[in-house]
């Protein structure tokens, strides 16, 4: 069965769920970040605190595991899973997400989340498959598993 000819992709913005999922994911990451600053931070010349060495590097490792690692292995981050969302390749949502797709999605998180998520919301609302910039670059879509209208639908054959 040829996906390109027999099926069409249907998505919805699911903005509320996607915002909650993002808050959960980055809330966990920021909590770890502040824990590291509180536990290992040292005063710096700018009047703030810096974390160096392995404790500082661990923040990147935690970000990587909670976003790219979980998403690549399970199709969802913890936030997405809590909201019933799944990330899948746009070319065929029946397939699993690749490491490269997940990496591309999350490398653009800071751009999509700026300012206050407005850029991500605007791109989700104004793209055909409700994709943010990271999704557009990675060629992925976010699907609500509870919504039976999303995903691949067989095309109607017109006689």
pTM beyond 0.85: yes
How confident is the model at residue 11, as a pLDDT?
95
Most distant pair of Cα atoms in the chain: their distance: 74
Run means of pLDDT, 10 residues per run, the chain, 159 residues: 66 96 97 95 93 94 97 95 97 93 96 92 96 97 93 69
How confident is the model at residue 75, as a pLDDT?
92
Under 8 Å between Cβ of 145 and 87: no
How confident is the model at residue 1, as a pLDDT?
40
> Percent of the chain, pLDDT > 90?
84
How confident is the model at residue 157, as a pLDDT?
56
How confident is the model at residue 2, as a pLDDT?
46
């Amino acid at each position: 069965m040829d996906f390109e000819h027999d099926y069409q992709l249907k998505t919805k913005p699911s903005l509320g769920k996607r915002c909650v999922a993002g808050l959960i994911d980055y809330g966990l990451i920021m909590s770890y970040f502040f824990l590291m600053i509180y536990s290992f931070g040292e005063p710096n010349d700018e009047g703030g605190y810096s974390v160096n060495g392995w404790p500082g590097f661990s923040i990147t490792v935690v970000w990587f595991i909670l976003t790219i690692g979980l998403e690549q292995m399970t199709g969802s981050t913890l936030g997405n899973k809590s909201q019933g969302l799944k990330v899948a390749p746009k070319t065929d949502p029946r397939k699993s997400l690749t490491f490269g797709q997940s990496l591309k999605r999350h490398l653009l998180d800071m751009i999509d989340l700026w300012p206050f998520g407005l850029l991500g919301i605007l791109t989700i609302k104004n793209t055909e498959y409700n994709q943010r910039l990271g999704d557009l670059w990675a060629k992925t879509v976010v699907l609500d598993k509870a919504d039976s209208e999303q995903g691949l639908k067989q095309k109607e054959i017109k006689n």
